[in-house]
Every structure is written in structure tokens, then in C-alpha cells.
Amino acid sequence: MSKKVTTIGGQALLEGIMMVGPKRTTAAFCDEKGNVTIEDIQVPRLTKKYPILGKPFIRGIFSLIDSFRLGYKALSVSADKITEEQGEEELSGMDKWLTEHFGDKITGIIMGLASVLGVGLAILLFFWLPTVLFNLLEAAVPAISGVWRSLFEGALRLLIFLGYLLVVSLLPDIKRTFQYHGAEHKTIFCYENDLPLTVENVRKQRRFHPRCGTSFLILMLILGIIVGFFIPFSNPFLRTAAKLLCIPVIMNIGYELQKACARHEGLLTRIITAPGLWVQRLTVKEPDDNMIRAAIAAMEAVIPENGEDLVK
């Protein structure tokens, strides 16, 4: 029997989970008593509005932009729900001042600032810093050839990324988010294995999924090493600019590779997916039953009746 593969994907949220189907996107949240609530996440998708953007080797970058917009909206809803549950009496003086002056807009403002700072820090750490450090190493050790530049930079980016994941995985709130990540993967596997979506069936599934965002980031970092060999600049600013311009190309190639690996099994597929699946041990944890219930609720809400989510 051929493997059943769905295009439905998800994202772990703060005390919840989002599932993205071909027609509907929902976020499910579970409180301490085990009560699950569902909210629709309505963000127009570029790949749906402009079909040309959904074509192979074009769709990668735009699908990721859609995913970012959906995730941003879902995280805003998630943060608002947590704030409501905590109650205003638990807010600090600064939190109360921000709420009084900015009201419902405060979550969006904070997330917007965090996104800008996050992008700036990522460019600094993953693009500019590795080039500067290699230039210093090359000046101090003349025997080191420039052909090692891309390998050095790529290895350093991987170490920074893995170190970041290791540190944040120790935080209690992030660990719970990673547990919701596990609930997402297990629920998708259960559906792809054509089993009823029950807590018992979901719990038996694997944690690590080849279409995971963690795996995609690792694949991007590896492809970046290959592309780096063809960038001639050693100036940190020029090299950083060139790498940023290459990101859309890398994203499109990585997206198609990941989709192909999800559809087919074989030695080459296992080699390509192995690094990402290994790193998922840091970002995908075993969920509890309430998390699984939330994932099932979100999944059931986005499954279309006509099977258009299935990859033929």
C-alpha cells in the first residue's frame, strides 16, 4: 500500500497548537482542566491568492512567508489568551502601564519589536560574525586557505543554532511548547497512517517528522555551506549581503527537497533527512494527554472532506 502523505502542517504555540489545512487554519488551546477551545486563524495566503506563487521552485519562499504570517497571528492569539488567564492583578507595574496606554495593540507591538530585533541578531550571528572570525583566523594562521571559509562559517552557524536550541529547551515554558510540537508531529503521523485520531493512537506514533520546520532550518544551513563556496567576497558586509540575496534560492531548493523526502523513502532520502531528524531531539518532546487532545482538535478541524490535502 502506498504511503499516505498530507500537506497539512502545524506549529506549536504558547499552551496550544496551530494546524494549517488547504482551506482552514485553526489554533487549539487546552487549559489546566483539560478543556479545549478552538479559534480560526484568518490570514490571506499569497500562494492561494496568486496561483503562480505556488509553482515548484517558486513556492518555497512564499509558502514560508505565508507560514510566518499565520504563525505570527496564531502566536498573538496565544499570547492574548495567556494574558487573559493570568488576570490583570498579576501584571507588573510596567505591564499595567503598557496595557493602559496601548491596550489590545500591546501584543502586536511587542511581537513586532521582537521580530525586528530577532532578524537583526540572526543576521549578525549567522552571517556577519562567522565571516569576521574566519578573516581573523586566516590573518593569524596564514596556512589556512580560503577554501575552508564556507565550511568554517557553516560549522559555526550550526554550532550557534544547536547551542541556542539546547539553552532554550531548558526553559520550562519553551519545554512545554516543544511538547506541543511533539503532539503536532504525532497527530499528523496518526492521520497519515490512516488511524482514528484518538489519544491512544496518537501517543504510539513517532515524534520526528521529515517535514518539520527544525529539519528545514538544518537543511537550509547545510545548503548555505554549499552556496558559500561560490561567493567570492571576504569582506564581511559584502559577503553578508550576497548570502542574504541567496536566501530565496536556498529556501526554494530546500522546500522542494523536503517535500520530495516526505513523499519518497530510500537511502538518499534517509541521508538528506538524517541531520534534521537528529536535531529534532532538541525541539520535539513527548506530549501529555491534554496536549494531544488539543492537537487532535486542531487537526480534525482542518481535514477537508474531499481529500484535497493528500499528496497523490
The C-alpha cell at 1 is 500500500
pLDDT tens across 199-217, in order?
Answer: 999 999 999 998 899 999 9
pLDDT tens across 7-32, in order?
Answer: 899 999 988 999 999 889 999 998 87
Residue 88: pLDDT band (50, 70, 90) is very low
Q: Which residue has the higher pLDDT, 271 or 2?
A: 271
CA distance 16 to 73: 13
- Report pLDDT for 147: 80
Name which of 53, 63, 78 is nearest 258 in CA terms: 63
Per-residue three-class SS string for 176-200:
HHHHHHHHHHHHHHHHHCCCCCCHH
Residue 43 has pLDDT above 80, yes or no: yes
Of all residues in the chain, what percent carry a pLDDT higher than 90? 59
Residue 73 has pLDDT above 50, yes or no: yes
Q: How many residues does the structure list for the chain?
A: 312
- Report pLDDT for 1: 42
Give the phi and the psi of residue 197 in degrees, each rounded to 5: -80, 85
Residue 289 has pLDDT above 50, yes or no: yes
